[in-house]
Chain A
Amino acid sequence: MNTHPHQPERSAPVTEEAWVERAIALLDESAHGLDAATVSRLNRARQSALAPRRSQRRGWMIGGSFAAAAIALVLALGLGHRPLPGALSPTDGAQDDLDALVDDDSPDLYENLDFYAWLDVQQQGGNG
């Protein structure tokens, strides 16, 4: 610790401040002067203590990812089946074809549409 925040109160005798500050500085240096093997063991102890928390968090993240993917899939499927506003439904044309097939009109009618249209005009002209 290069700087230390523990400043004794101003009312404390100077000599007491001095030796307490000296003691704290010595303690700081002793903590920083630990040998590499001890520091390594502290590091391992810390990692071991944090390991269950990390695996728990990883589990939540994996679970959350799966949940998000499932929600996205459900939404994608739901939107895929819903027609967009103003868009033609793919079943509209099929319905027209089906109506034509089950209609009572003879197929000849569709083959001579021009004739029937002319006849219709003639009749309207005769009536008028």
Chain B
Amino acid sequence: MLAGSTSMSGFDRMSAAPATPSDDSPAIERFLREVERRALRMAEFAVGNREEALDLVQDAMFGFVRNYATRASTEWPPLFWRVLDSRINDWHRRQRVRNRWLGWFERNGSDDEQDDPIVSAPDPGEPGPLARLADGEAGIALEAALRALPLRQRQAFLLRLWEGLDVADTAAAMRCSEGSVKTHLSRALTNLRVALEKHR
């Protein structure tokens, strides 16, 4: 199963690459520069909105630098993703509370167009980054399938397979057991495979 595959995190990949002579920036800045784009995409999948995703990534960077900058650089990848995962979970909690209040107002006669889920749903005409690829159809399908996954399954898939954390580091980032990571990943693969079947 893929859950047990050997891996190397993005930061390991970056560290293994020879540094350019002019690259004298501190290690933590290089680390953040290396992970920030994937972090943004991960947050975007989770919240479905680039502005919110940028806020979450910036928040995660602040929290990570404030709390973990002095830790050994080998510990950074799971710690950074843990901070981001925590921010994403907080965002979903806030959304649940907000939606509960909005639902109450809607039941009391508000039919404001702004609250219409169809209106506030992502515009299918907006292609997103994946759509600009050569195989745009597969990109759109993948993005849609990832967004349709439950949060924990998506995080397990992205952290374990895209970011390349091992099972233990993924569990640390998601604050769950290694067994849970394997379960979430297995379900994510099954769901994604079904959703992407026609693109295989």
| Known pairs A6-B164, A24-B161, A52-B66; A16 contacts B130 (CB<8 A) | no
Chain B 156-192 near chain A by CB (<8 Å), digits 1 or 0: 0010011010000000000000000000000001001
- In the complex, the answer to whether B13 meets A5 with C-beta atoms within 8 Å is yes
In the assembled complex, A32 has its CB within 8 A of some CB on chain B: yes
Give complex CA distance A32, B4 in Å. 27
Q: Name A17's closest neighbour in chain B (CB-CB).
A: B2
Partner of B2, one of A8, A43, A48, A49: A8
- In the complex, the answer to whether A23 meets B196 with C-beta atoms within 8 Å is yes
- In the complex, the answer to whether A6 meets B7 with C-beta atoms within 8 Å is yes
Q: Name A29's closest neighbour in chain B (CB-CB).
A: B133
* Interface hits, A70-122 → B, CB 8 Å: none
Q: Name A12's closest neighbour in chain B (CB-CB).
A: B2
| Known pairs A5-B7, A7-B6, A49-B65; A42 contacts B41 (CB<8 A) | no
Nearest chain B CB to A57's CB is how many angstroms away?
A: 9
Nearest chain B CB to A56's CB is how many angstroms away?
A: 10
- In the complex, the answer to whether B139 meets A20 with C-beta atoms within 8 Å is no
- In the complex, the answer to whether A6 meets B161 with C-beta atoms within 8 Å is yes
Chain B 98-133 near chain A by CB (<8 Å), digits 1 or 0: 000000000000000000000000000000111011
- How many residues of B are counted as interface, with CB atoms below 8 angstroms from the partner's CB atoms? 49
**B32 proximity list for chain A (CB < 8 A):** 46, 49-50
Tell me if A's interface is mostly helix, strand, loop or mixed.
helix
Q: Name A42's closest neighbour in chain B (CB-CB).
A: B36
Give complex CA distance A124, B80 in Å. 102
Nearest chain A CB to B54's CB is how many angstroms away?
A: 6
Nearest chain A CB to B171's CB is how many angstroms away?
A: 17
Give complex CA distance A27, B61 in Å. 21
Q: Name B134's closest neighbour in chain A (CB-CB).
A: A29
Give complex CA distance A107, B133 in Å. 111
Chain A 41-76 near chain B by CB (<8 Å), digits 1 or 0: 111011011101100000000000000000000000
- In the complex, the answer to whether A42 meets B65 with C-beta atoms within 8 Å is no
- How many residues of A are counted as interface, with CB atoms below 8 angstroms from the partner's CB atoms? 37
- In the complex, the answer to whether A46 meets B162 with C-beta atoms within 8 Å is no
- In the complex, the answer to whether B61 meets A45 with C-beta atoms within 8 Å is yes
Partner of A30, one of B61, B129, B192: B129
Nearest chain B CB to A42's CB is how many angstroms away?
A: 5
- In the complex, the answer to whether A33 meets B133 with C-beta atoms within 8 Å is yes
Chain A 1-15 near chain B by CB (<8 Å), digits 1 or 0: 100011111011001
**B54 proximity list for chain A (CB < 8 A):** 38, 41-42, 45
A5-B8, A16-B193, A48-B61 are known; give 17 further A-B pairs, CB within 8 A.
Answer: A5-B13, A6-B162, A8-B2, A16-B189, A19-B200, A26-B130, A26-B133, A27-B158, A29-B130, A29-B133, A31-B40, A33-B132, A42-B36, A42-B57, A45-B36, A45-B61, A46-B32
> B residues bordering A, Cβ < 8 Å?
1-2, 4-8, 12-13, 26, 28-29, 32-33, 36-38, 40-41, 50, 54, 57-58, 61-62, 64-66, 69, 128-130, 132-133, 135, 138-139, 142-143, 158, 161-162, 164, 189, 192-193, 196, 199-200
